[in-house]
C-alpha cells in the first residue's frame, strides 16, 4: 500500500535537510514548514494523498521560493487519480506567485492584471493602435472580463478574456473546483497572466518554473530539482473524486469521441510521450505551443485527424530546427 501523508512528515530529518538545500536559510525553512503543515491541516484530504505526491508539490514550492502562507502564492490541491485509484496532490502556483516569479526572473517586466465587473467602464482595441482602458464603476456587479498587461521597455502587451473564456479554462483544467469557488477573481487573473505568457519573451528558467504549475510530481531524495522529475499528470487520464469538476467538463474517454477510439488516444499519448522524452519538457511545450495547444490533454476531445496533424507538425518542426 502506498504511504499516506502526515502533518509531521516534514519534520523528518532527511526531508527537512533536502528542503533546507532548496530554501537555503534555517529560519526561512522553519517558517516554510509551519506554513506547509498549516496548509495540510486546513485540508484533511491532503492526509489521504500519497505522501510522495504531497512532498513533490511542497518541494516544487520550496524550489521556486513560494509560500503557502495565505498570500495566494501557492496551493496544494488534492484530487482523485482514477487511473491509479489513489488520491494525489497537485501543485498550483497562485496569481501572486506568478507575479512574484515575473518580477524575480524578468526585471524588465511590469505585470498587472484586473477583473472587469458590471458597471465598470471598459474598452480595448487590438492591432497596430492597441489600447486598453478600465475605470471602476461606483456600483460593481458580477465579473464580465479579465485582463493581464505586461510592460516591456515601455511597450505594452495585453490579453483580454471574457468570463466565458475563463470558465472554459476552468472546465478543462481544474482538477478540483475548490480553489476556483473560493478565489474565482484571482484564479481568473492567473488564467489571464498564463495566457499572456505565450506572447512574452520568457527565459528558460521562467518557462521551467511555469511548467511546474498544475502538475503532480513525486518526491525522490536523489532528485534535487523538481524540473527534472517527470510531470505525472500530463499523460494520465485523471478525474477528481469527492471534489468533482463540473459535470459538463470533458470525461475520460471510454468509447468514441468524434472518430477516435481509446486505442487511438492511447497511441497518440505514447507518441507524444516519446517526443517529450526525446527533446525534453521545456522544448516539448514550446513545440506544442507552436501548433496551437498548451497541454497534451487539450487534444483528448479532438478528432484523430487533428491528433495526427499535431504529431506531424511537431515532428516537422523538430526536423527543421535540427
Predicted local distance difference test score (pLDDT) of residue 286: 76
Phi, psi of 219 (to 5 degrees): -70, 130
Predicted local distance difference test score (pLDDT) of residue 300: 73
Give the separation between CA 5 and CA 219, rounded to whole angstroms.
12
Predicted local distance difference test score (pLDDT) of residue 120: 95
Q: At what angle do helices 13-23 and 51-64 cross, to 10 degrees?
A: 20
Give the separation between CA 77 and CA 242, rounded to whole angstroms.
13
| pLDDT tens-place string over residues 89-113 | 888 888 888 888 877 765 567 788 8
Using a 10 angstrom Cβ sphere, with 0-12 exposed, 13-18 middle and 19 or more buried, the burial of residue 126 is exposed
Residue 77 pairs in a beta bridge with: 90
**Full-model pTM:** 0.56
% pLDDT > 90, the chain: 12
H/E stretch holding 68 reads: none
Amino acid at each position: 500500500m502506498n504511504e499516506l501523508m502526515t502533518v509531521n512528515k516534514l519534520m523528518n530529518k532527511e526531508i527537512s535537510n533536502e528542503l533546507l538545500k532548496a530554501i537555503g536559510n534555517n529560519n526561512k525553512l522553519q517558517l516554510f514548514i509551519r506554513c506547509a503543515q498549516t496548509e495540510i491541516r486546513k485540508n484533511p484530504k491532503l492526509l489521504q494523498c500519497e505522501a510522495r505526491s504531497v512532498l513533490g508539490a511542497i518541494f516544487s514550492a520550496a524550489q521556486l521560493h513560494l509560500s503557502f502562507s495565505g498570500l495566494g502564492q501557492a496551493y496544494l490541491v488534492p484530487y482523485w487519480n482514477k487511473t491509479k485509484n489513489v488520491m494525489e496532490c497537485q501543485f498550483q502556483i497562485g496569481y501572486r506567485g506568478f507575479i512574484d516569479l515575473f518580477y524575480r526572473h524578468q526585471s524588465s517586466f511590469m505585470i498587472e492584471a484586473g477583473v472587469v465587473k458590471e458597471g465598470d467602464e471598459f474598452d480595448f482595441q487590438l492591432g497596430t493602435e492597441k489600447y486598453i482602458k478600465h475605470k471602476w464603476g461606483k456600483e460593481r456587479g458580477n465579473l464580465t472580463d479579465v485582463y493581464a498587461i505586461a510592460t516591456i521597455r515601455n511597450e505594452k502587451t495585453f490579453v483580454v478574456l471574457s468570463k466565458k473564456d475563463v470558465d472554459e479554462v476552468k472546465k478543462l483544467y481544474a482538477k478540483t473546483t475548490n480553489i476556483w469557488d473560493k478565489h474565482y477573481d484571482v484564479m481568473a487573473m492567473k488564467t489571464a497572466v498564463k495566457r499572456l505568457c505565450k506572447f512574452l519573451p520568457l527565459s528558460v528558467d521562467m518557462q521551467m518554473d511555469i511548467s511546474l504549475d498544475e502538475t503532480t510530481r513525486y518526491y525522490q531524495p536523489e532528485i534535487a530539482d523538481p524540473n527534472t522529475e517527470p510531470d505525472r499528470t500530463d499523460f494520465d487520464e485523471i478525474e477528481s473524486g469527492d471534489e468533482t469538476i463540473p459535470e459538463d467538463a470533458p470525461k475520460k474517454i471510454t468509447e468514441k469521441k468524434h472518430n477516435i477510439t481509446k486505442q487511438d488516444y492511447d497511441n497518440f499519448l505514447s507518441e507524444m510521450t516519446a517526443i517529450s522524452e526525446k527533446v525534453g519538457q521545456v522544448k516539448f511545450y514550446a513545440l506544442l505551443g507552436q501548433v496551437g495547444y498548451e497541454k497534451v490533454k487539450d487534444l483528448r476531445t479532438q478528432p484523430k485527424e487533428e491528433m495526427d496533424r499535431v504529431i506531424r507538425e511537431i515532428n516537422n518542426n523538430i526536423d527543421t530546427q535540427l
